[in-house]
Amino acid sequence: MLVKEWMAADPIVVDENTSIMKATQLMKEHGIRRVPVVKGGRIVGIVSDRDIKEAAPSKATSLDVHELYYLLSEIKIKDIMTPHPITLRENDSVEKAAVIMLENRISGMPVVDEEGRVLGMITQTDIFKVMISISGAYRSPIQLALDLEDRPGSLNQLLNSLRVHEARMVSVLTSQENMPPGRREVYIRIKDMSNEKLDALVEDLKKEFKVLYVIREDLKNIPRKEPKKALT
């Protein structure tokens, strides 16, 4: 999957001479936590809400409100931004984006063209969306996990067993992390079926494979955080 398919296109950007006050207003208006900084239309940095909080005067400041507003209007984004940020191209893979974010402990990156113009932003939330999409979590309540021999044809053998039981496959993911040589874990999501049919499927799978677990979970109706109520 490519970054351009999952990024937020045409993101909000700020000029390097934008004040902290203006940048804060933009972030609050659009519900964003980081903004690419440009000079002459080309990226020169990135600024986050954390950068702004660290640069803003403490709540314990002795400045009066007029002095505070003046200070915030005078400090420019270029003075607090992270210069030369890590960027991506729109045809980079989402996996590359995830690796860069993990290795650099960052939660979002600008996507730019060859001339440094900002085309989009991709964040950890977008990566989560990709994971949910490829796993089929919203479309399948049942996941089977198996310890499989890592040899040609082993996965096809497993899929044939699913077909015998008319199990409709939604996704297949594999991993060799923390597995001994010659083994791999396989995670399969299938369309919903009755408990009786699922039990029969699992019993047959256990005759040929090492079944690690079987779970049934409704991810369409998970608890959601209630929005904060406005004070009256």
Give which of 47, 29, 30 is closest to 38, Cα–Cα.
47
Q: What is the pLDDT of residues 119-170, one digit of tens each?
A: 999 999 999 999 999 999 999 999 999 999 999 999 999 999 999 999 999 9
| pLDDT on residue 57 | 58
| pLDDT on residue 60 | 43
Position 221 in a domain: no
Q: What is the pLDDT of residues 77-106, one digit of tens each?
A: 999 999 999 999 999 999 999 999 999 999
Let me know if 180 is exposed, middle or buried by CB neighbors in 10 A (0-12, 13-18, 19+). Answer: exposed
Q: What is the pLDDT of residues 44-76, one digit of tens each?
A: 999 998 888 887 655 545 455 555 555 666 789
At residue 230, does pLDDT exceed 50?
A: no
| pLDDT on residue 65 | 53
On whether both 153 and 89 belong to a single domain, the answer is no
Q: Per-residue confidence at 226, pLDDT binned at 50, 70, 90? A: low
On whether both 48 and 98 belong to a single domain, the answer is yes
| pLDDT on residue 17 | 93
At residue 178, does pLDDT exceed 60?
A: yes
On whether both 96 and 173 belong to a single domain, the answer is no
| pLDDT on residue 232 | 39
Q: Per-residue confidence at 225, pLDDT binned at 50, 70, 90? A: confident
Q: Domain total for the chain?
A: 2
At residue 227, does pLDDT exceed 60?
A: no
Tell me which of 112, 131, 150 is where a domain ends: 131
Q: What is the pLDDT of residues 183-200, one digit of tens each?
A: 999 999 999 999 999 999
| pLDDT on residue 75 | 82
Domain of 106, in residue numbers: 3-131
On whether both 16 and 126 belong to a single domain, the answer is yes
Mean pLDDT (whole number) for 170-187 = 94
| pLDDT on residue 29 | 92
On whether both 121 and 164 belong to a single domain, the answer is no
| pLDDT on residue 191 | 95
On whether both 86 and 156 belong to a single domain, the answer is no
Q: What is the CATH number of the domain that holds 17?
A: 3.10.580.10
